[in-house]
Amino acid sequence: MAVSRKTFLVNNASWMLVVALILLWELICVSLNVPRYLFPAPTAVWEAGVARWEIISKHAFQTFFTTMVGFGLAVAFGLLTGMAVGTSPLVYRALYPLMIGFNSIPKVAFVPVLVVWFGIGTTPAILTAFSISFFPVMVNVATGLATLEPELEDVLRSMGASKLDILRKVGLPRSMPYFFASLKVAITLAFVGSVISETVASNLGIGYLMMAASSSMDMPLVFAGLIVIGLMGVVMYELFAYLEKRLTGWANRGSDI
């Protein structure tokens, strides 16, 4: 009995916490009588969301699109450079400091430059999403490859395996858990990237919608936008978490967590 109650809690804790927080939020807004234009109650946000569904979904689709394209590019380039950095000490030495420097630049500071180059709208959003989510993919793939056990490498080399053989048979499969872990981080960062860019330089996308709504004090719409972004992030995260579990379950030694 105690055990089953505990498993029930563990399985449903996330939903219950969300519901509890919404209730608390509603309670605070109603009991303190907070004005809508400062901090709208969940019911008000819900109303705004339902009433303006068409406009929200249009912007949400734009954000989803730029995020996924930027994320896709980040995964492709992250895999390639990660493989280069992880397998070649020369590339590692040459590229790593550059990459660290590149990653240290706040991406929002770079958006105006992108605007000068590409104009406002889709392209800067894609590039910001790309540049912010590229780094974790590269680092994780490189780490997965570089931490190959030396003895295992000796075993393979003494069979006459080429570098490419080692990469294909051992290096890449072994770095898959690292890769999937990075996808979960990268997808949420990619959303952050496109929304930042849309806030600064776009007339489409959730970032723009929230910017426009808050300048007209339409707080319920701002919060509806926030929640849509959050939801998209959670859905994509869960998708990659599921893929991770399916494809690299061996890394957890068959356990469930």
Partner 1 sequence: MAFVDFEHVSLAYDEGGPLAIEDISFSVQENEFVAVVGPSGCGKSTLMKLVSGLTEPTEGYVYLGGRQVAGPQKCIGMAFQASNLLPWRTTLDNLMLPLEIVQPYRSQFRRRKQEFIEQARALLARVGLAGAENKYPWELSGGMQQRASICRALIHKPRLLMLDEPFGALDAFTREELWCMLQDLWQEDPFTVILVTHDLREAVFLADTVYVLSKGPGQIVAQKQIDEARPRSLEFTYSKPFADNVQELREHIGRIRAVQ
Residues of this chain that interact with partner 1 (CB under 8 A) are: 149, 151-152, 154-161, 165, 169-170, 173-174, 176, 248, 250-251, 253-254
| Least Å from the CB of residue 174 to partner 1 | 8
| Least Å from the CB of residue 160 to partner 1 | 4
Nearer to partner 1, 61 or 250 (CB): 250
| Least Å from the CB of residue 170 to partner 1 | 7
What is the four-CA torsion angle of 21, 25, 28, 33, rounded to 10 degrees?
Answer: -170
Angle between helices 219-247 and 53-87 (to 10 degrees): 40
Nearer to partner 1, 54 or 151 (CB): 151
Nearer to partner 1, 58 or 157 (CB): 157
Nearer to partner 1, 102 or 250 (CB): 250
Nearer to partner 1, 101 or 160 (CB): 160
Quote the CA–CA distance of 155 and 179 in Å, as a whole number: 25
Please, which residues have CB within 8 angstroms of residue 224's CB and are 6 or more apart in sequence?
Answer: 45, 46, 48, 49, 52, 56
H-helix segments, the chain: 2-32, 42-51, 53-87, 89-104, 107-118, 122-146, 150-157, 163-166, 172-200, 206-215, 219-247
| Least Å from the CB of residue 83 to partner 1 | 18
| Least Å from the CB of residue 155 to partner 1 | 5
Answer whether 56's CB lies under 8 Å from 225's CB. Answer: yes
